[in-house]
Structure 1
Amino acid sequence: MAQGAGTRDLSIAEVRVTPILVADPPLLNTQGVHQPYTPRLIVEVVTADGVTGVGETYGDTKYLELARPFAAELTGRQVSDVNGLFTIADELAVDGSRVEGRVDVGGLRGVQTADKLRLSVVSAFEVACLDALGKALGLPVHALLGGKVRDEVEYSAYLFYKWADHPEGVVCEKDDWGAALDPAGVVAQARMFKERYGFTSFKLKGGVFPPGEEVAAIRALAQAFPGHPLRLDPNGAWSVETSLEVARELGDVLEYLEDPALGTPAMAEVAAGTDVPLATNMCVTTFAEIEEAFTRGAVQIVLSDHHYWGGLRNTRELAAVCRTFGVGVSMHSNTHLGISLAAMTHVASTVPGLHHACDTHYPWQSEDVITERLAFRGGRIAVPDAPGLGVTLDRDRLAALHERWLADDGALRDRDDDAAMRVADPEWVTPAVPRW
């Protein structure tokens, strides 16, 4: 039987913020290649009764510098006061020179702002508080969000053009995925995803090679996996004209085309010229960006990401706005571990009308900070019904990954796909947009 809140001391007694570096394969995108290790931030919120909740978000320096003073403000507050997290965040100063106007490489989600940074930090603390509250009350997080409407959440295989290894001389963890640099390699990678995890839909990260080559890769996938939903995401690397040409060539096989052109005006032009649905995680990343995108018909599917929307409850609010406008909703993914995947699964289970499989990088991550990895069966994850998120922090593993962060000279503490590419190609310059 669940204990009532009145029998527990739900005040926050301690907050721990732990930056880590986790292994990442050499996955290619339009800005470069993933570094051999990527930063993540693990948050622990401990109640006076000794209940610990966990959260996870981006671990770059700019997030860590905000998370530490944020954590200091939480002691003594009620773990149930998740609305108060946003008030605390609003009062914290952000170094604008590190953020404003720059392109956010993490997730390739458009221009950074101080508010986006704050929300990305809040998200980890909100999840940690909900995890602790659920454990204290004996309730799963999805129950705190109003209850699940599905018992499983479907995910999509996230395909990448990929080198077999990181550049020679770079210290890194090895993986067994091999290279994928042409249509045959992409199809082989998709077969591995299906065999290992049972995925039945596939998304290819594009913007790496000329559009004709990526069209050929999608065609090869359509031939190898007839009837399977396919998506292509070049992260705004194409012009409006190129986007429309690709939409014409692939209109019979694409479930949707994600961020083919950069920004709402360009996306609106593309949308006006094609019947292929357009999805985004770049031009609609805050509530303030919704009006223009929806009223101009620029997007038909919003890919939420609880990390930069400010948490699980804001994700549900976004889904409600999308329903109001008849816009579809699913989930974006960046390099993440099991804590974030559990949080994604909980909130996705509560969203009505989730008609598109969610993205996930999780199969690419060979390392984790939880004791038991979440398992995909038939491309789906069963929604946990244990109290909180239903995951347990592996403290030994957390400590080891934190030691790796401490041992780093600072080169890997901020994700930089451009710098990682220059290790292999010193002449590399981040391509101007549109690239094609």
Structure 2
Amino acid sequence: MDLTITDVRLTPILVADPPLLNTQGVHQPYTPRLIVEVTTADGVTGVGETYGDTKYLELARPLAARLTGRQIGDLNGLFVLAGAVTVDDSRVSGQVDVGGLRGVQTADKLRLSVVSAFEVACLDALGKTLGLPVHTLLGGKVRDTVEYSAYLFYKWAGHPEGVACEKDDWGAAVDPAGVVEQARRFKERYGFTSFKLKGGVFPPDEEIAAVRALAEAFPGHPLRLDPNGSWSVATSLRVAEELGDVLEYLEDPALGTVAMAEVAARTDVPLATNMCVTTFAEIAEAFAKGAVQVVLSDHHYWGGLRNTQQLAAVCRTFGVGVSMHSNTHLGISLAAMTHVAATVPDLHHACDSHYPWQSEDVLTERLTFDDGKVTVSDAPGLGVELDHDRLRFLHERWLNDSGALRDRDDAAAMRLTDPAWTTPSVPRW
């Protein structure tokens, strides 16, 4: 067999996204994603997926050009190649990564998010070549299914009138009753048994009421609340006290390790994060200060599936829980998440997934949830197949866009309804 990479294809696309609200604003009608295809001399193609904003494309293109002639098994070399690609620091340093809502973006974080797609594509191709599933390449699965949590959002019934968009049937959710109805639909359609609410949208008392309504409607179901660092320490502590009897954990109530540590020291409610710990360099301070009790990994943030396993091992060493964060993603990313999650021994919390919100995909067959779980595929590679016609259609949408949607901007989308809207300062409450 010849494992030499002979071709790398990058396809930026725009996929439909409902009007989901967060502390930054509202999702745009379409969101950018990047699909990576890596083909070997034997004609085997592996696929990967990551963010498709312009800054990611600018790094992915020169990295893709350097891969031809290399071996698909040279995964460590991906980081070396990415490190050699120049990144315009002025475009990322000090900026908030709106798409991921994970705090300040840096050139190194950008590189990791791009490398993740190439690593997954190489693992997929290697697995197909060897006839082995990705989880076997990662050391083998310890579970046959991976549990996911329903990802609830405050939501408008539709995007602003006059905006080109795909319609959805979820309806509005702007109060406790709407949130409960949304959760009921998630449970009926997918069988989810835990719920996470994206907060930071309305004043804390309204979000406390929504979580209380969920607890009443779904007794015994694990609940989570994530305001994306929009609260002060005092507000975080008040919410923790009010909801301490029903929350599985409170995710990033305050912004940054110092504030999170202060909250953690004064409440028994576990704190989770995908904002103050998103790289290995950020672990030491957060763990030493006891700022977080659960790290929500995201293989895009951390640079791939093997780094995710390393993170899980570090968390296990320090007695910190681990689960998985999710941003707007398609089936390739869900398959990759499921494979790596299947290999993590101490995965005691259901993983996040936006996938049910995405009505469009690039796969010939969508992944499915059964009782809130995804079955781990034992087929070679990721166990998914790319739908080239669908990929072409979504790429045409990207090509035909004027450029307004090629970079996710939740604040700009909100200004279509509220022209005076600006990204709120933190803490917002």
TM-score normalised per structure 2: 1.00
Per-residue deviation, residues 261-304 of structure 1 (Å, max 9, x unmatched): 00000000000010000000000000000000001000000000
Among candidates 31, 38, 42, match of residue 24 of structure 2: 31
Per-residue deviation, residues 113-165 of structure 1 (Å, max 9, x unmatched): 00000000000000000000000000000000000000000000000000000
Among candidates 39, 55, 58, match of residue 62 of structure 1: 55
Find out whether 1:248 has 2:251 as its counterpart: no
In 1, Cα distance between equivalents of 2:59 and 2:107: 10
Give 2:180's aligned amino acid.
Answer: V
Q: Which runs of 4+ in 1 moved over 4 A?
A: none
The Cα shift of 1:183 comes to 0.1
SS where residue 424 of structure 1 aligns? coil
Find out whether 1:208 has 2:201 as its counterpart: yes
Give 2:382's aligned amino acid.
Answer: L
Find out whether 1:72 has 2:34 as its counterpart: no
SS where residue 248 of structure 2 aligns? strand
In 1, Cα distance between equivalents of 2:100 and 2:251: 13
Give 1:171's aligned amino acid.
Answer: A
Find out whether 1:279 has 2:263 as its counterpart: no
TM-score normalised per structure 1: 0.98
In 2, Cα distance between equivalents of 1:425 and 1:128: 41
Report what 1:3 is aligned to.
none
In 2, Cα distance between equivalents of 1:21 and 1:231: 30
Among candidates 151, 160, 167, match of residue 158 of structure 1: 151
In 1, Cα distance between equivalents of 2:135 and 2:141: 6
Report what 1:398 is aligned to.
391
Find out whether 1:408 has 2:396 as its counterpart: no
Report what 2:411 is aligned to.
418
The Cα shift of 1:385 comes to 0.3
Give 1:15's aligned amino acid.
Answer: V
Unaligned runs of 5+ in 1: 1-7
The Cα shift of 1:400 comes to 0.2
Query: Residues 12-411 of structure 1: matches in 2 within 5 Å?
Result: 12-411=5-404
Give 2:311's aligned amino acid.
Answer: L
SS where residue 416 of structure 2 aligns? helix
In 2, Cα distance between equivalents of 1:60 and 1:81: 26
Give 2:87's aligned amino acid.
Answer: V
In 1, Cα distance between equivalents of 2:88 and 2:26: 27
The Cα shift of 1:107 comes to 1.5
The Cα shift of 1:235 comes to 0.1
Give 1:81's aligned amino acid.
Answer: D
In 1, Cα distance between equivalents of 2:18 and 2:149: 18
The Cα shift of 1:244 comes to 0.1
In 1, Cα distance between equivalents of 2:332 and 2:207: 33
SS where residue 187 of structure 1 aligns? helix
In 2, Cα distance between equivalents of 1:99 and 1:144: 34
Q: Percent identity?
A: 84
Unaligned runs of 5+ in 2: none
Give 2:299's aligned amino acid.
Answer: H
Give 2:288's aligned amino acid.
Answer: T
SS where residue 8 of structure 2 aligns? strand
In 1, Cα distance between equivalents of 2:228 and 2:129: 41
The Cα shift of 1:106 comes to 1.2
The Cα shift of 1:374 comes to 0.2
The Cα shift of 1:97 comes to 1.3
Give 2:90's aligned amino acid.
Answer: S
SS where residue 169 of structure 2 aligns? coil
In 2, Cα distance between equivalents of 1:275 and 1:169: 47
SS where residue 65 of structure 1 aligns? helix
In 2, Cα distance between equivalents of 1:98 and 1:199: 39
SS where residue 142 of structure 1 aligns? helix
The Cα shift of 1:341 comes to 0.1
Report what 1:4 is aligned to.
none
SS where residue 410 of structure 1 aligns? coil
In 1, Cα distance between equivalents of 2:423 and 2:391: 33
